[in-house]
A = this chain, B = another copy of it.
Amino acid sequence: MAVRAAVAGASGYAGGEVLRLLSAHPEMEIGAVTAHANAGQALGGLQPHLVPLADRVLDPTSVETLAGHDVVFLALPHGQSAAVAEELGEDVLVVDCGADFRLRDPAVWERFYGTPHAGTWPYGLPELPGAREALRATRRIAVPGCYPTAVSLALFPAYAAGLVEPDAVIVAASGTSGAGKALKPHLLGSEVMGSMSPYGVGGGHRHTPEIAQNLSGLAGEPVTVSFTPTLAPMPRGILATCTARVRPGTTAAAIRESYAEALAGEPFTRLLPEGQWPRTAAVVGSNAALLQVTLDEAAGRLVAVSAIDNLTKGTAGGAVQSMNLALGLPEETGLPLNGIAP
């Protein structure tokens, strides 16, 4: 019998991607699809790419419409998930695509989000050490941010193996869907096409503490993170360029070996053959993360680059992957590995 899932926030980009993946998932059945301002509208007018769901009408997001499902995906603005989750039964699997339950330190949460901390849920990045066990045992999942997913996958083998110093410098380029459907002037097509621009520079982006939390956990000591996100003229994709000084004695061979070992058997994370570097177009619509790493001997730095689709592996795909674990399904179930290219 199919597992029934509801999707709250179905008119946004994250919610739409959850629906796309669920509708191709062999064990899932889509129940309520809900929205706030767009409630009452047909999905086809808002998400015309979801052809099989075009005639579904959006319900208002409420405990009533979300109740009675086995799984509830929350793709809501930050700060709204806790109230909804509380009202859903403890046996319901709640998968929060928002930030509310990602950070462990309440003080850090409050500094970056300005609201009281709602708590911490198991973190939906199965590739991190220990994560799969926690996800298999939970009914509450905090889906990671898209940048932290890309960065943590690129650097976890290095920090887990103690190859680099606790001072990471990261510059990442994201497609515009990462900024959502909000109507802001700088997100207009006329503004973003043909343009690269940074934002949240100097430590202000809310994904900075999440990246630091992940890397520090791996390193076993506090890791300083310099993180600069940039907006790229493409709808989807994250390219994360991540560097850290190598510890004395670290060789290129040791780096390669550590990455190969850490990624062995991973279903979605692929270390490319030496000399081939990731490109975001190769993972559009896919749950794969493509990685490459090298040693810059002159600069004394490890440079790791990852490419993911911010909406798939970076949000909805990571969510479904974690859901699979929590439901006891094979982790890969229903998740595309091929990208759409060119």
Chain A residues at the B interface, C-beta cutoff of 8 Å: 13, 16, 20, 23-24, 42, 44-45, 47-52, 54, 167, 169, 171, 173, 175-177, 179, 181, 183-185, 187-199, 201-203, 208, 224-226, 228, 230, 232-237, 239, 241, 243, 270, 272-273, 276-286, 288, 290, 292, 294-301, 303, 305, 307, 336-342
Query: CB-nearest residue of chain B relative to A53?
Result: B338
In the docked arrangement, what's the CA distance between A300 and B204, Å?
Answer: 13
Q: Given A194-B194, A276-B44, do A338 and B189 touch, yes or no (CB 8 Å)?
A: no
Instruction: Assess A277 versus B342: contact at CB under 8 Å? Given A185-B181, A239-B230.
Output: no
Contacts of A236 in B (CB 8 A): 194, 340, 342
Copies in the complex: 4
A173, A177, A298, A338 — which one has the most chain B CB atoms within 10 A of its CB? A338
Residue of B nearest to A47 (CB): B341
Contact partner, A277, options B198, B295, B305, B338, Cβ 8 Å: B198
A173 to chain B, nearest CB (A): 5
Structural contact, B188 and A181, CB atoms closer than 8 A: yes
Given contacts A176-B188, A280-B197, contact A13 B342 (CB under 8 A): yes
Q: Quick check: A51 and B337 within 8 Å, CB to CB?
A: yes
Cα–Cα distance between A184 and B190 once the two chains are bound (Å): 12
Q: Top 5 closest A-B pairs, CB basis?
A: A49-B339, A195-B281, A189-B192, A197-B279, A171-B171
A338 B49 Cβ-Cβ under 8 A: yes
Q: Which of B13, B297, B340 contacts A190 (CB 8 A)?
A: B13
Q: List 11 A-B contacts (CB under 8 A).
A: A48-B339, A49-B281, A49-B282, A51-B339, A175-B190, A188-B189, A188-B342, A194-B236, A195-B237, A202-B295, A236-B342
